[in-house]
Structure 1
Amino acid sequence: MTAQAPMFADLAGDISVSFEFFPPKTEKMEEQLWQAITQLEPLSPSFVSVTYGAGGSTRERTHATVSRIVRETSLVPAAHLTCVAASKGEIDEIADQYWEAGVRSIVALRGDPQGTDARFAPHPDGYASAADLVAGLSARHAFDISVAAYPEVHPEATSASADLDNLKRKLDAGANRAITQFFFSPEAYFRFLDKALAAGISAPILPGIMPVTSFAAIRRMSANTEIPSWMEAMFEGLDDRPGPRALVAAVVAADLCRRLYEGGVRDFHFYTLNRAEQAYATCHLLGLRPKETAA
């Protein structure tokens, strides 16, 4: 009988990765964030993004986190910016502050509605859409801009084709790449790529990978993302067992990435939720090694 190589043994580590963090609200959360950044920095990500919510305090935390990344690390930070609850003047001022701080990368998003509102309503003096925001940022500074994409369709889109048209508008307005909402089916991603190419979209579309830190949270955040029945079964009974759950989650995420890799994907974006272990383990299984120990 021929011996079969382990499932990740043949991966060359010829991948690029990026990571998403969120700004901390407390001193303890700040410590956790910087532990994650310290652990993941040696993997030489192409960029790290920092999320952003409407409201002054959240914006300030995002700016403080991004500024510290610029000052204290070798990482390339990409600051999130949204259209929610801000005028064009306010957003332009924030963009100017980032540029002056040395930030050259932005993740431009429409943003989620505030409070219990079911649908997004633009600020009377603000940008009406992510495409408008991209155009405004591009006119102001030579930012490298990423935007969002939805392999399983944005929950508010009227149709899959309308959602794809919106993505094309964002890229045509000056965005350099798209990053997808998380998904658990490689087929959903590859079908989406085929449709994007057919629509004339040639910009890179990075798959967004979400290791499961809490399956209950994944259910809440999934919106239009399909959660396979095998995945429900695999995580059953693990929400109160963080150690085993983390081990299972890393293998599930790495297997998804391996199947994407087999389909030609070499660039992965990880939603870390400010925890390094699972993203690091997944990258390790894909053959990526810290730069200090690289041959």
Structure 2
Amino acid sequence: MSIAHSPPHTYPALSYELFPPRTSRADEGLWRTIRALEDTRPDFVSVTYGASGSNRDTAIGLLMRLLDETTLKPLAHLTGVGNSRDYLMELVDELISRGVRGILALRGDRPQDLSLPAGDLHYASELVELIRQVERQLTAHLCAGKVAVGVAAYSTKHPESPSLEHDIEVLLAKQSAGADFAITQVFFAPDHYRRLLRTARRAGVEIPIIPGVVPFTSVRRLERLSELAGIEVDATLKDRLMNADDDSARRRIGVQATVDLAHAALDDGAPGLHIYTFNEHGAALDVLDRLELSRPPVPGLSQSA
């Protein structure tokens, strides 16, 4: 009797965000975090890129070390604002030629100083198109392969956007330009991701939308993220964190709140989770332990008892 082939079991995607270190001491701490996160076998780790390429050398250095010294697959952030088209094409060429196979295409924050150059690109969709243009020129080098291009999505209205509907139109433009997936900015309530996913699908967005979550263990960090995202932190959660008996209790409260938010997103159909680590692994690993997120088996190892 023949057995029909069943589709392979799918596992939620898992990824982390890291940022290039500014000091040698920070570098040591980052690499402790990298080794700890590597043990969880994530699908990729993203590496942030400073405004207008202000940390280009350290960002590329970290990307190369990840490729050369770890089993991790790096996703390189890239921002369009403040850069010329020629510079960006040169940088994308360099990233691909040096082995990077994932790029997160971001518009970037507009410079507050009007004397600074705004750059040739005005939208993230233009950067996606530019990456695809460079990729086509390197097709022979890639053996007809493909670079994975990600973009940002917003579970709540972008601070500069007139409406959530406008954000969805922008996401559709990124998809049309060649984006493969999206990662959301931080959000604080299950309804935020649920509404984004439902609205995006109805509008025709088909690419995976991965929720980005941050361990809710620091009130100061949450307030800063709330300011940047233009949304309010849940008042009840904030009060519980501020009134916790000690740091250990505060951490337990924050981790459980993050786990609840992640579970809700996965139940709503999220394809995985992207964890903003702030280069610290402790809380991220606590979240993973509580989530009990299933991971694919290690190739070559027997799964039998």
The TM tier, using the shorter chain, reads 0.7 to 0.9
Query: Contact 1:151–1:180 (CA<8 Å) still a contact in 2?
Result: yes
Match of 2:40 among 38, 43, 46: 43
Tell me what 1:83 maps to.
Answer: 80
Change (3 A) 1:92 1:106: same
Secondary structure in 1 matching 2:185: strand
Tell me what 2:118 maps to.
Answer: 122
RMSD of aligned C-alpha atoms?
2.4
- 2:231 is the counterpart of 1:211: no
**Quick one: distance in 1 between partners of 2:53 and 2:205?**
35
Letter in 2 for 1:151: S
- 2:251 is the counterpart of 1:227: no
Using the size of structure 2 for normalisation, the TM-score is 0.84
- 2:154 is the counterpart of 1:160: no
Query: Contact 2:81–2:122 (CA<8 Å) still a contact in 1?
Result: no
Change (3 A) 1:137 1:72: same
- How far apart are residue 252 of structure 1 and its match? 1.3
Q: How do residues 47-62 of structure 1 correspond to structure 2 at under 5 angstroms?
A: 47-55=44-52, 57-62=54-59
Tell me what 1:9 maps to.
Answer: none
- 2:109 is the counterpart of 1:112: yes
Match of 1:179 among 179, 183, 193: 183
Letter in 1 for 2:167: D
Query: Contact 1:43–1:289 (CA<8 Å) still a contact in 2?
Result: no
Letter in 1 for 2:34: I
CA offsets, 1:231-260, max 9 Å, x none? 12111146x954443332221111111222
Identity value in percent = 36
**Quick one: distance in 2 between partners of 1:55 and 1:258?**
36
- How far apart are residue 98 of structure 1 and its match? 0.8
Q: Which runs of 5+ in 2 are unaligned?
A: 1-9, 136-145
Q: Which runs of 5+ in 1 are unaligned?
A: 1-12
- How far apart are residue 261 of structure 1 and its match? 2.6
Tell me what 2:275 maps to.
Answer: 270
**Quick one: distance in 1 between partners of 2:247 and 2:79?**
33
**Quick one: distance in 2 between partners of 1:255 and 1:294?**
33
Tell me what 2:134 maps to.
Answer: 140
Query: Contact 2:52–2:79 (CA<8 Å) still a contact in 1?
Result: no
Which is bigger in relative contact order (C-alpha 8 A, separation at least 6)? 1
**Count of matched residue pairs:** 279
**Quick one: distance in 1 between partners of 2:131 and 2:265?**
32
CA offsets, 1:16-65, max 9 Å, x none? 21000000000111111111110011211111000011255511111111
Using the size of structure 1 for normalisation, the TM-score is 0.87
